[in-house]
Amino acid sequence: MEKIESDWDLLEALDPDVATKILMCLDDPADIFRASSVSRAWRDFVIRNGICKHLCLKLFPQLCGIARVIDVSSTPKKCAGVGCSRSIEWDHLKEEHRLYTTLARGLTSSYVGECLADAISASSTDNYPEEGIHNTLESRDRIGRRPSYWSSSGQSNPEVPERLTYKLISDICVITEINIQPFQAFFQRNTPIYSAKAVRFRTGYRILPDDYEQDFKGHESKTSAEKFMWTYTSQEFPMVQESGLQNFKLPQPVLCIGGYLQIELLGRVQKQAMDDLYYICVAYVQVIGRLLDPVFG
């Protein structure tokens, strides 16, 4: 019987390009960690070919815009002597591997929970602050005898959209689903439900400095609307004219860098009898996802 060598190494047996393609098929950070723990040669191969970075980009395409990751706490290495530039590049690859490994594990294994921190602004409000956007953070549609909801201004054109902007509880998090409850006006005849026809979601970051946030909180002015950069826009999701909490699960988890979410309410379905105008009213908004900041703490 032919004896099988016990020290046979898969990486040495395969063409490097083939080995790279195989490792890039891994879709769990834990598997990449195990592969890099087989031996020093395997670890160097994983680092040199950016396997963990590839996984992060595959899981979260929003990261494709990042040209280079840098650990600001580390001291830059000064180049001196022959081969120093090669050493610096290898150190960078190792650091990049470490950061992307941490990022991948944090994005896929962090605690799943509610991600909304504050309500920032609405594109319009019928009666502010009684019907302001801050009411949508409350899961109850009544607080005592007072109804709790946000209401848009009335429009004769049912196609006029509305926007609700929120601050997330972390500047870096992964959003998986958003739940919205249209408001049912129990104090009006026939208890109409003021839902939208469809919804769309955007995530991104604020261009405006922190100390300007209070200037536009509650109302969305033209200036405030221009102070955000939206890096992700979802597809449109149909909304039904029902008062229950409606679930909108994103096709893929979305990495939000910057900590802001905007909900676009597209189209109106319900007129108010007293003025014959279309309104959109929302009782409650809930955002579910994973937080990443503690991983880097």
Query: pLDDT tens, 15-36?
Result: 888 888 888 888 887 888 888 8
Q: Rounded mean pLDDT of the chain?
A: 84
User: How crowded is residue 296: how many other Cβ atoms within 10 Å of its Cβ?
Assistant: 10
Is residue 74, in this structure, part of any structural domain at all?
no
Is residue 75, in this structure, part of any structural domain at all?
no
pLDDT in tens, 101-110: 877 777 776 6
Residue 215: the pLDDT is: 43
Residue 257: the pLDDT is: 85
Phi, psi of 160 (to 5 degrees): -70, 125
More confident residue, 30 or 71: 30
Q: 135-142, long-range: CB within 8 Å, 24+ apart, which pairs?
A: 135/283, 136/164, 136/282, 136/283, 136/284, 136/285, 137/284, 137/285, 138/284, 139/284, 139/286, 141/181, 141/183, 141/184, 141/243, 141/283, 141/284
CA dihedral sign, ordered 121, 125, 130, 131: negative
Is residue 186, in this structure, part of any structural domain at all?
yes
Task: Give, in order, the Cα–Cα distances in Å from 65 to each of 11, 57, 62, 89, 262.
Answer: 31, 10, 7, 21, 21
Residue 77: the pLDDT is: 57
Task: Calculate what percentage of the chain has a pLDDT beyond 90.
Answer: 44
* CATH number of the domain that residue 139 is part of: 2.60.120.260
What is the model's pTM? 0.76
Residues 226 and 266 in one domain: yes
Cα–Cα distance measured from residue 253 to residue 244, given in angstroms and rounded to the nearest whole number: 24
More confident residue, 239 or 11: 239
Considering only CA atoms, which of 178, 181, 194, 184 is closest in space to residue 262?
Answer: 178
**Helix, strand, coil abundance in the chain, percent, nearest 5:** 30, 30, 40
Report angle CA 205, 210, 213 to the nearest 5 degrees: 85
Cα–Cα distance measured from residue 135 to residue 34, given in angstroms and rounded to the nearest whole number: 47
Q: Which helix (H) or strand (E) holds 168?
A: strand 162-168
Residues 119 and 216 in one domain: yes
pLDDT band, residue 133 (cuts 50/70/90): very high
Residues 87 and 129 in one domain: no
Residues 207 and 259 in one domain: yes
Rounded average pLDDT over 151-167:
97
Is residue 1, in this structure, part of any structural domain at all?
no
Is residue 131, in this structure, part of any structural domain at all?
yes
Phi, psi of 112 (to 5 degrees): -95, 130
3-state SS, residue 228: strand
Residues 218 and 92 in one domain: no
3-state SS, residue 121: strand
User: How crowded is residue 114: how many other Cβ atoms within 10 Å of its Cβ?
Assistant: 12
66 and 260 Cβ atoms separated by less than 8 Å: no
Residues 127 and 197 in one domain: yes
More confident residue, 144 or 213: 144
pLDDT band, residue 95 (cuts 50/70/90): confident
The secondary structure of residue 155, as a DSSP letter, is B
Task: State both tokens at 282.
Answer: 């929302």
Residues 212 and 133 in one domain: yes
Residue 220: the pLDDT is: 60
Number of domains in the chain: 2
Residues 132 and 148 in one domain: yes
The secondary structure of residue 208, as a DSSP letter, is S
Residues 88 and 135 in one domain: no
111 and 291 Cβ atoms separated by less than 8 Å: yes
Residues 162 and 225 in one domain: yes
Query: The domain containing residue 48 runs over which residues?
Result: 10-69+83-109
* 165 pLDDT above the threshold of 60: yes
Cα–Cα distance measured from residue 105 to residue 295, given in angstroms and rounded to the nearest whole number: 9
Rounded average pLDDT over 193-221:
75
Q: Identify residue 101 by its one-letter amino acid code.
A: T
Residue 209: the pLDDT is: 63
Is residue 3, in this structure, part of any structural domain at all?
no
Cα–Cα distance measured from residue 195 to residue 197, given in angstroms and rounded to the nearest whole number: 7
Residues 134 and 214 in one domain: yes
Residues 20 and 161 in one domain: no
112 and 260 Cβ atoms separated by less than 8 Å: no
Is residue 169, in this structure, part of any structural domain at all?
yes
Chain CA centroid to CA 146, Å:
33
Residue 1: the pLDDT is: 47
pLDDT in tens, 31-54: 888 888 888 888 888 889 888 888
pLDDT in tens, 233-254: 999 999 999 999 999 999 988 9
Residue 297: the pLDDT is: 45
Is residue 180, in this structure, part of any structural domain at all?
yes
Rounded average pLDDT over 284-297:
76
